[in-house]
Structure 1
Amino acid sequence: MWFSQKKQKVTQHNTTQVLANILSNGIDVSINELIQYQTKTSLINLAARKDLHGKMSGNYLARSKGRGMEFDEVRHYQTGDDIRAIDWRVTARTGITHTKVFREEVERPVFIATDLNDNMLFGSQLLFKSVQASHLAALVAWHAKERGDRIGGIVFNQYKHTELKPRSRQQGVLHYLYSLSNIHQNTSEALFNTHSESDTSKGSAQKSFDENCGRIRQLSKPGSLVYLITDGNHLSQESLRHLTNISRHCELVVCLISDPLEIELPKSDKKINVAVTDGKKKQQLLIGDKNLAKKYKQQAEELTQNKEALLAKAGARILHFSAGTTLETQLKNGITSWTR
């Protein structure tokens, strides 16, 4: 018992230290903790992963080839090639006319949609899922700003949402960060308001998710890089229909945020009955039962695989993040593959 108590104190101390390092209390979202990700943009890479629709000039290398700022290769001259691109050195050396091929630079807006519905306000170890989602959104926004891209998006819960038109300056990032902080505070206040109608909150959360996926579809321009940051618990046929449409014209990346307790039950040498609640219903859970733990983990894996299959069918690239570890740790240690 003494060892268990000592281990628990060490764990609590380590958690407190980690939270202090990322300027967070794990529950709320402050501007300062989001601004700090301005110095961590090297952790990710927003390079294009699929063909871009639209012929605009800018900072991204398109899959299509043509005249541009970035040299790609030398190949045999073909009818219709611009004679100004002929590589005379290779032509003289081989005796066959060769031409230089470039990759065109294409600009695209980065559109970030962050889900802060009630179900995101949950965390068992380090952060609420909603806090981790806000950190990830901030990191993507700062990285896009550093590349000179225009940043826009939606921050939403089941009570309200904020739409932000793409902007190319730091002001655009800060506008998005303030929206994250404000909507997150709004979610917390509404969730813990004892006068709120609990029977309608679940339905409104589902409706909110579907409607905001529809708004993303309307607002994201062809060729955009679209990030949807959510736990995926409200995926439905309606929202998947919108996401499928988005992926046809944009590069869609869905970042699924999960909590360690949603993946598997805590390990224990002794069987302990604990009370659990989702804020509305209560039930008992037996910790330390190996059979129950195995069944719980299998069901969690099946649920995750089902989400992945639905999102993959919709044309999304899927990335997983945990709320139990800092974002920086996951990206540095390769826990999450950003470019897979």
Structure 2
Amino acid sequence: MLPREIIKKIRRIQIHTTRIVDELLAGQWDSAFRGSGIEFEEVRPYQYGDDVRAIDWNVTARSGRPYIKLFKEEREVAVMLLVDQSASQGMGSHWQTKREQVTELGATLAFSAIKGNDRVGLTLFTDGIEKFVPPRKGTRHVLRIIRELLYCEPVGRGTNLTKALDHLNRTARRRSIVFLISDFQDSGYEKALKVARRKHDIIPVVVADEREVKMPNVGLVRLRDAETGRMVTFDTFSRANRRAYEEHARQKMEQRDALFRRLSLDPIHVYTGEDFVESLQKFFHRREKHR
């Protein structure tokens, strides 16, 4: 039996994210994702104006007249949320941490999926796999996903995107829509991302905090790497130090985004303390326009 305060928190997230789905994202999920897979249905005689690339040459050869293949959209897809639960997700210089932002975002995507009659699953990862919830339908299932997002107590502290993507490829046998939600504070995952990209529809969701890219002038500060525990003293009085910090962050972002471009991935960027709905709406619009 869940404690009353946990039930209240899950219920609050359910009400908030359902409102977002119903009022702000209504219809956009289907426009962006419906029919992401297709399956063969039948053939019919070729008609003037048909796409010649759809000609079924085997049937054409047997019948002596051209036929084309007709396909139908798959009416149900599987959606997987791969969610980073590493220690760096506790970062938050505004009213919420990255983990809290991710919970709201994940719940919104899950409710959008089931409203579109799709199945949704969850993988929580750090430098290992913390939790795996297979894709299913229904509100009760989404409430379980919210509970796991809220109250996961990860064993690991680091980030290993390669392990998360390898686990996806082992468990998701059919092509799935995959939201890879992380701050991407990892390296060496390009090969695993390439392999997953060939099989699945991968959508990177980059969750960041303003202080990770811009350092204010607040004097001497002690900084601790949440994932390694390493401590450093940083003099923010120095303009050169602040510029070096921001340049290092900029280079890491450019390397990450260049990888996404090479793999033709369209990322979603969200920041703590900001409303992620606009970012989702822009992404859905781009996706619909591209389709």
TM-score range, shorter chain: 0.7 to 0.9
Change (3 A) 1:109 1:178: same
Counterpart contact for 2:123–2:130, Cα < 8 Å: yes
Change (3 A) 1:39 1:221: farther
Change (3 A) 1:33 1:338: farther
Counterpart contact for 2:38–2:73, Cα < 8 Å: no
Q: Which residue of 10, 13, 20 maps to 1:40?
A: 20
The TM-score normalised by the length of structure 2 is 0.74
Give aligned-pair identity as a percent.
Answer: 17
Distance 2:87 2:168 in 1: 20
Which runs of structure 2 are paired with 1:6-45 in the superposition (5 Å)? 30-35=9-14, 36-41=16-21, 42-43=24-25, 45=28
Amino acid at match of 2:10: I
Change (3 A) 1:287 1:210: same
Shift of 1:251: 0.7
1:246 is matched with 196
Change (3 A) 1:221 1:282: same
1:194 is matched with none
Counterpart contact for 1:141–1:173, Cα < 8 Å: yes
Distance 1:337 1:144 in 2: 13
Which runs of structure 2 are paired with 1:232-243 in the superposition (5 Å)? 232-236=184-188, 239-243=189-193
Task: Spell out, residue by residue over 1:68-96, the C-alpha distance to the aligned partner (whole angstroms, 9 max, x if none).
Answer: 9xxxxx96368998xxxxxxxxxxxxxxx
1:110 is matched with 79
Change (3 A) 1:157 1:241: same
Please say if 1:141 is aligned against 2:110. Answer: yes
SS where residue 225 of structure 1 aligns?
A: strand
Shift of 1:274: 2.7
Counterpart contact for 1:113–1:229, Cα < 8 Å: yes
Which runs of structure 2 are paired with 1:201-220 in the superposition (5 Å)? 205-206=158-159, 208-220=160-172
The TM-score normalised by the length of structure 1 is 0.64
Counterpart contact for 2:81–2:178, Cα < 8 Å: yes
Counterpart contact for 2:123–2:129, Cα < 8 Å: no
Alignment root-mean-square deviation, CA: 3.6
Amino acid at match of 2:95: L
Please say if 1:273 is aligned against 2:220. Answer: yes
Change (3 A) 1:173 1:131: same
SS where residue 35 of structure 2 aligns?
A: strand
Please say if 1:157 is aligned against 2:126. Answer: yes
1:339 is matched with 286
Q: Which runs of 5+ in 1 are unaligned?
A: 1-28, 50-58, 69-73, 82-100, 191-200
Distance 2:138 2:252 in 1: 40
Q: Which residue of 33, 49, 57 maps to 1:76?
A: 49
Amino acid at match of 1:76: G
SS where residue 217 of structure 1 aligns?
A: helix
SS where residue 275 of structure 1 aligns?
A: strand
Q: Which runs of 5+ in 2 are unaligned?
A: 1-7, 56-68
1:121 is matched with 90
1:197 is matched with none
SS where residue 133 of structure 2 aligns?
A: strand
2:60 is matched with none
Shift of 1:149: 0.5
Change (3 A) 1:114 1:75: farther
Of residues 125-134 and 224-233 in structure 1, the stretch that sits farther from structure 2 once superposed is: 125-134
Change (3 A) 1:247 1:281: closer
Shift of 1:216: 1.2
Counterpart contact for 1:217–1:242, Cα < 8 Å: no
Larger Rg: 1
Task: Spell out, residue by residue over 1:35-82, the C-alpha distance to the aligned partner (whole angstroms, 9 max, x if none).
Answer: 121111133834577xxxxxxxxx8235869879xxxxx96368998x
Distance 1:78 1:327 in 2: 40
Shift of 1:123: 1.0
Amino acid at match of 2:49: H
